[in-house]
Structure 1
Amino acid sequence: MNETEPFSFTSMQEVAPVAIPERQFIQSHDGIRLAYYPFLSETNTQTNVIIIHGGGAHSLAGYEHIAYTLQHDFHVNVFLLDLRGHGYSEGKKGDTPKVTDVWQDISQVVDVIKQQHEGALYLCGHSSGAGLLLQYLSWDEKRKVDGYFFIAPEFGYKSDTAKSNQVPFATVQVWKFVLSAMTKGRLMGHSEAVRFHYPAWVIAQDPLLLTGITINMSLALTPSAPQKQFARLDQPYGMFVGSEDELYDVDKFHPYLTLPNQQVKNQSVYQVIENHTHLSILLESGKKIGHTIQMWKSSN
């Protein structure tokens, strides 16, 4: 790994590509079309997973490997979602009209998947996609699903999980957030305030990656009170972190595990995956998610 890069991108370059299904679209509440990829099991299944990508990324930035594993090895339907303003979804790049629009998008996708596919439904987020998931689960209008997966979760600057010696992946213009908060969101909401440090060669290979997001999008993805929000989880979760993750001190996730109620804790899974980094964990997560779902189903 290049020591000036926030994390190792090369692990994802060396993996054999998988077959990608045809891109589909779901229309959200405000008419925006959200792109998604349905990896459907060839056998009749009662299990469905929606996967939310990380900051500035998109569905096919490594998440297809999770989907392919679940689809073929565990007979799970997987839906990779491009957030609005990301990938092939519509909307101004890296932005959202309102913070809650991003959460309403998730509800819209959940509703459509439930209409079209029977059985259990799980939500999964990687990196700041896991932060978005935690934000969504704290929203009064969230949809009920059967469980959650947090992969290398980025729970935000209040989470106390960052490594002290990390090469930062993002630069934040704090003054814009301050001004936005002081004006109750009237100012700066659509101004780019978080810049991602994707290396130039990575952007050249994948032009769909975003180099920045706005205040509104960042607020949608960043848990406002991560410990309190995690304590309120109402369904079992699986949390997986790589032992070599460049951004997080994996030991700092342990306090989170004690927070939810006893019933949630008893069914939940936390695992440090040896020798995996912030991105390479995507190559192993499909198996971990699949085995966890099997465990949950056998215990019911």
Structure 2
Amino acid sequence: MQQAAPVHIPERQFISSHDGTSLAYYPFLSEEKTQANVILIHGGGAHSLAGYEHIAYTLQHDFQVNTFLIDLRGHGHSDGKKGDTPTVTDVWQDISQFVDTVKQQHQGAVYLCGHSSGAGLLLNYLSWPKKREVDGYFFIAPEFGYQSDTARPDQIPFASVQVWKFFLSAMTKGRLMGHSEAVRFHYPAWVVEQDQLLLTAITVNLSLALTPSAPKKKFAGIDQPYAMLVGSEDELYDIEKMSAYHELPHEEIKQQSVYEVLDGHTHLSVLLEAGKQIGKTVQMWSRSI
């Protein structure tokens, strides 16, 4: 990732969410006419410009796809308490606000894309009864949480979790511990020093927004075509176990969907290759409409 050439970043913009929270985003707009838009959700604790700009730039210039990098509330340059959310569903409502904004301002299909725990957030969102309708989903190196049964047996944990806080929150129906830091990320010190926007911890509420309960059941209920892109050298999960998710959805959905292993790529370096695969998949879906 450090060796990747920098790309041009468009001017940061903001929208106001349902509760007045100002949410930052970066619109990578194609200079040519386009009929496709991708909204990209970063992983928990990260932010829009933590490598995701490479996907956006590729889609913008090589595939003429408008791409919107969004900072979740409490992340990056968005407002809100760092690493927190007032309620679990506020984060999902923010996604709806972005979808509404893109649909109002741009023509064409709208796709939602998530990386790592951002993919977990997307899986939660697409099974939420109040979600907005979109045309498809992209899951990049998806982290579907502790119930996913995908972790590598030799995994070196990237995060430590204070499980008792989640129990107490659940027992009190969210009245206690919701805003307490419960998941701490183990970034090397030099990484945090280099990128001041990275968060080192998130709260119970935010973690619940990002972590699917019953992920296999939710994935089986996907209502639109999807693409799942994983790196062959991902440090967090067993890609053989991840491929089993591709067998879960309805046959009609599965026939339109894509599962692809990107050879030699890790959990983060996959961001350098994913733009090409997303662009090719958008083209395939566009031809089938």
TM-score by length of 1: 0.96
Which residue is equivalent to 2:31?
Answer: 42
- How is 1:139-218 mapped onto 2 (pairs within 5 angstroms)? 139-218=128-207
Q: Tell me the equivalent position of 2:107.
A: 118
One-letter amino acid matched to 1:250? I
CA distance in 2, matches of 1:278, 1:16: 19
Query: Stretches of 4+ moved more than 4 A in 1?
Result: none
From 8, 12, 31, the equivalent of 1:23 is 12
Looking at structure 2, the residues matched to 157 and 44 of structure 1 have their Cα atoms a distance apart, in angstroms, of 42
Number of residue pairs matched? 289
- Cα shift readout 1:163-217 (whole Å, capped 9, x = no counterpart): 0111111100000001111111110000000000111000011010000000000
Please name the residue that 1:230 is paired with. Answer: 219
Give me the whole-angstrom Cα distance separating, in 2, the residues matched to 1:118 and 1:132.
Answer: 25
What residue identity is the alignment partner of 2:246? L
The equivalent of 2:249 in structure 1 is 260
Equivalent residue for 2:282?
A: 293
Counterpart of 2:265, as a letter, is H
- The DSSP-based 3-state class of the residue aligned with 2:229 is strand
For 1:283, the aligned partner's letter is L
After TM superposition, give the deviation of residue 299 of structure 1 in Å: 1.8
Aligned to 1:78: 67
Matched residues in 2 for 1:162 and 1:178: separation? Answer: 22
Give the match for residue 221 of structure 1.
210
Task: Report SS of the residue matched to 2:24.
Answer: strand
> What is the identity, as a one-letter code, of the residue corresponding to 2:251?
Q
Cα shift at 1:254: 2.1
Percent of aligned positions that are identical: 76
TM-score relative to the length of structure 2: 0.99
2:261 to 272, 283, 286: 272
Instruction: Supply the distance in 2 between the matched residues of 1:35 and 1:118 (Cα, whole angstroms).
Output: 21
Does the alignment pair 1:284 with 2:269? no
- Equivalent residue of 2:99, what SS? helix
Deviation at 1:298, TM superposition (A): 1.2
Alignment-derived partner of residue 88 in structure 1: 77
CA distance in 2, matches of 1:174, 1:117: 43
CA RMSD of aligned residues (A): 0.5
1:132 aligns with 2:132: no
